[in-house]
């Protein structure tokens, strides 16, 4: 998610903050603090909604965000966001990571994670299917 289109807001040895473009007025803010990354969705009106998936383990997010949308009265409306979430499974071995796809629903009232799909060969398909049905899903509780 930290890519060429993202604009660095703040950067030092332990902290990195970037604003990344989204769609239809939405933006993403990426924070990287002490090898733990987070994503905040910024709605067109400026309200911020943190995608809550914190864990004590070191973790990172993938380089891409996939927006799922629907068309309402000739207008594109985002309904979900899919991001990759990599968790360091074993503190003794930094290369031992477990990867998930997080599906967050986007509504006027809330933006929250509704599905956490462990990465497998068909995880992208499962995440898209989940994202396309987000309106019927409840927010996940933190582990």
Cα 67 to Cα 126: distance, rounded to the nearest angstrom: 15
End-to-end CA distance of the chain: 24
In this structure, the number of other CB atoms found within 10 A of the CB of residue 91 comes to 10
pLDDT band at 34 (very low <50, low <70, confident <90, very high): confident
Position 2 scores a pLDDT of: 60
Higher pLDDT, residue 57 or 60: 60
| pLDDT tens-digit map of 86-117 | 988 777 887 888 999 999 999 988 999 999 99
Q: Is a pLDDT exceeding 60 seen at residue 143?
A: no
For 49, the 3-state DSSP assignment is: strand
CA 60 to chain centre: 10
Q: Which residues are registered as beta bridge partners of 28?
A: 20, 41
Q: Is a pLDDT exceeding 60 seen at residue 59?
A: yes
> Running DSSP on this structure, what letter comes out for residue 23?
S
User: Could you give the count of Cα atoms lying within 13 Å of 118 in the half-sphere of its Cβ?
Assistant: 3
In this structure, the number of other CB atoms found within 10 A of the CB of residue 102 comes to 22
Structure tokens at 20: 């990344």
pTM above the 0.85 mark? yes
The DSSP element (H or E) to which 131 belongs, if any, is helix 123-131
Pick the most confident of 45-54, 89-98, 130-139.
130-139
pLDDT band at 54 (very low <50, low <70, confident <90, very high): low
Q: Please, what is the average pLDDT of the chain?
A: 89
Domain parsing of the chain, residue ranges:
7-135
139 contacts 112 by C-beta, under 8 angstroms: yes
pLDDT band at 17 (very low <50, low <70, confident <90, very high): very high
């Amino acid at each position: 998610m930290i890519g060429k289109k993202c604009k660095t807001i703040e950067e030092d040895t332990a902290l990195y903050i970037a604003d990344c473009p989204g769609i239809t007025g939405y933006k993403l803010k990426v924070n990287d603090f002490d090898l733990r990354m987070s994503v905040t969705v910024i709605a067109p009106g400026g309200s911020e909604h943190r995608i809550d998936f914190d864990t004590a383990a070191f973790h990172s997010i993938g380089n891409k965000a996939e927006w799922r949308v629907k068309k309402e009265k000739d207008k594109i409306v985002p309904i979900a966001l899919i991001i990759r979430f990599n968790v360091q499974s074993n503190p003794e071995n930094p290369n031992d990571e477990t990867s998930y796809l997080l599906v967050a629903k986007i509504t006027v009232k809330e933006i929250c994670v509704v599905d956490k799909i462990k990465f497998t060969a068909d995880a992208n398909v499962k995440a898209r299917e989940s994202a396309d049905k987000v309106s019927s899903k409840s927010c996940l509780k933190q582990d």
